[in-house]
Amino acid sequence: MHPTERPRRLRADGVRGLVSETSLAASDLVAPVFVDATAEGRRPIPSMPGQERVPVAEARERVEELLAAGVEAVMLFGVPESKDHRGSRAYAEDGVVQRAVRATADTDAYVITDVCLCEYTDHGHCGVLEEGAREDPSLTVRNDPTLELLAETARSHAAAGADMVAPSSMTDGMVGAIRERLDNEGFQDLPVMSYAAKYESAFYGPFRDAADGAPAFGDRRHYQMDPANPREALRECRLDVEQGADVLMVKPALAYLDVVSAVRREFDRPVAAYNVSGEYAMVHAAAEKGWLDLEATARESLLSIKRAGADLIITYFAEELAPEL
Ligand code: PBG
């Protein structure tokens, strides 16, 4: 008895590559960079082994290191020197991200900035607070007054020389407000990558240490998405496309591959996936114990994200993997 079909024939060395359906390239990856206005030197981030906060004075050097590893794009996050209730250091001309962008603008890197307020507000929420929110957990961020602050943050990043802005606050109308401001200020050619389907996820834990952006009270469930909802992700994406989003992001990545795949099928825009801090920390923790092979697991994770349909991946593994790709 011979089997009629033998898929194993195409698994031999020599032919595997010819029939491989998915590929991973260094040019698919974006490396997050944390720039810290309060740091004198580089500071390792304990919950994210291999990642560090760098002072503004070393932002350029850090980006050059990533370029040398083969990473072509970076996403900048800022830790400001001070915080207040309206997050004013997020849109200050001499803010930490604005200074870091100026310092890196003439490198060969493609510089994307995260546009959000949670690292800049003293309450740690992604916008202007509702009155009484500290006492009443049913109240959080006021949507429409936040739009103006996001638009101003994006404009200031563009003016500093950013190549792309990525709003992550899940404020309704954020892409439209930012697009309009950029267009009015002469930045018609600057693309917007929307964190279109961003879920309220426990996988962001290590990032909140890294960027010092944990909410001081409550959580983000009133603006970030309910992890139970895949259809709502398509609605979010549709709204962002209508408002002019150039790239649609799904976040987190690995626990939401069904959403990545659905967004790929439904829309003709490039799809980004954010392989978030918790996904990175888990692999590192298991590898430290000798339970998983770090590089093989990281590679397989990123390949899965590509297979689900992502065109680009924001990942803390970028620097480690790019030289191998
Ligand atoms: C800012 C922002 C967060 C992340 C990216 N941008 C934190 C959050 O929403 O709580 C998370 C990234 C990660 O976990 O790697 N709003």
pLDDT digits (tens, 9 = 90+) for 28-47: 999 999 999 999 999 999 99
Question: Which CATH number fits the domain that encloses residue 93?
Answer: 3.20.20.70
Query: What is the whole-number distance in angstroms between the Cα of residue 207 and the centre of ligand 1?
Result: 6
Mean pLDDT, rounded, for 286-304: 98
Question: In angstroms, rounded to a whole number, what is the distance separating the alpha carbons of residues 262 and 21?
Answer: 18
- Phi/psi of residue 242, each to 5°? -60, -30
Kindly state the tokens that stand for 35. 């720039």
Lowest mean pLDDT among 122-126, 161-165, 280-284, 287-291: 122-126
Question: In angstroms, rounded to a whole number, what is the distance separating the alpha carbons of residues 302 and 198?
Answer: 18
- 54 close to ligand 1 (CB < 6 Angstrom): no
Taking 90 as the threshold, does the pLDDT of residue 145 lie above it? Answer: yes
- 207 close to ligand 1 (CB < 6 Angstrom): yes
Query: What is the whole-number distance in angstroms between the Cα of residue 234 and the centre of ligand 1?
Result: 20
pLDDT digits (tens, 9 = 90+) for 261-290: 999 999 999 999 999 999 999 999 999 999
Is-contact 255 276, C-beta < 8 A? no
- 195 close to ligand 1 (CB < 6 Angstrom): no
Taking 90 as the threshold, does the pLDDT of residue 217 lie above it? Answer: no
At 308 the pLDDT is 98
What is the average pLDDT score of the chain? 96
Question: In angstroms, rounded to a whole number, what is the distance separating the alpha carbons of residues 133 and 156?
Answer: 29
Query: What is the whole-number distance in angstroms between the Cα of residue 114 and the centre of ligand 1?
Result: 9
Taking 90 as the threshold, does the pLDDT of residue 104 lie above it? Answer: yes
Taking 90 as the threshold, does the pLDDT of residue 323 lie above it? Answer: yes
The yes-or-no answer on residue 198 being catalytic is yes
Is-contact 30 111, C-beta < 8 A? no
Q: How many domains does the chain have?
A: 1
Interaxial angle between packed helices 143-160 and 96-104, expressed in degrees from 0 to 180 and rounded to the nearest 10: 30
Query: What is the whole-number distance in angstroms between the Cα of residue 268 and the centre of ligand 1?
Result: 25
The reply to whether 11 falls in a domain is no
Query: What is the whole-number distance in angstroms between the Cα of residue 127 and the centre of ligand 1?
Result: 14
Q: Which of 28, 74, 63 is nearest to 325 (CA)?
A: 28
At 135 the pLDDT is 83
Q: Which atom of ligand 1 is nearest to the CA of 169?
A: 16
Taking 90 as the threshold, does the pLDDT of residue 65 lie above it? Answer: yes
Model confidence at 216, in pLDDT bands (50, 70, 90)?
confident
The reply to whether 76 falls in a domain is yes
The reply to whether 17 falls in a domain is no
pTM value?
0.96
The reply to whether 91 falls in a domain is yes
Mean pLDDT, rounded, for 64-86: 97
- What separation, in Å, do the N-terminal and C-terminal C-alpha atoms of the chain show? 42
- Which helix (H) or strand (E) segment is 54 a member of? strand 52-55
Q: How many residues does the chain have?
A: 325
- 168 close to ligand 1 (CB < 6 Angstrom): yes
Q: Which atom of ligand 1 is nearest to the CA of 201?
A: 10
Model confidence at 84, in pLDDT bands (50, 70, 90)?
very high
Sign of CA dihedral 35, 38, 40, 45: negative
pLDDT > 70 fraction of the chain, expressed in percent and rounded: 100
- 126 close to ligand 1 (CB < 6 Angstrom): yes
- 113 close to ligand 1 (CB < 6 Angstrom): no
Taking 90 as the threshold, does the pLDDT of residue 96 lie above it? Answer: yes
Q: Which of 215, 95, 65, 225 is nearest to 155 (CA)?
A: 95
Taking 90 as the threshold, does the pLDDT of residue 134 lie above it? Answer: no
**Residue 77: CA atoms inside 13 Å, Cβ hemisphere, count?**
23
The reply to whether 298 falls in a domain is yes
The reply to whether 7 falls in a domain is no
- 277 close to ligand 1 (CB < 6 Angstrom): yes
User: How many other CB atoms are there within 10 angstroms of residue 22's CB atom?
Assistant: 11
Give the CA angle between residues 241, 312, 262 to the nearest 5°.
55
At 213 the pLDDT is 80
The reply to whether 55 falls in a domain is yes
User: How many other CB atoms are there within 10 angstroms of residue 17's CB atom?
Assistant: 8
Domain that holds residue 246: 23-324
Pocket test for ligand 1, best of 116, 140, 317 (most atoms within 8 A of CB): 116
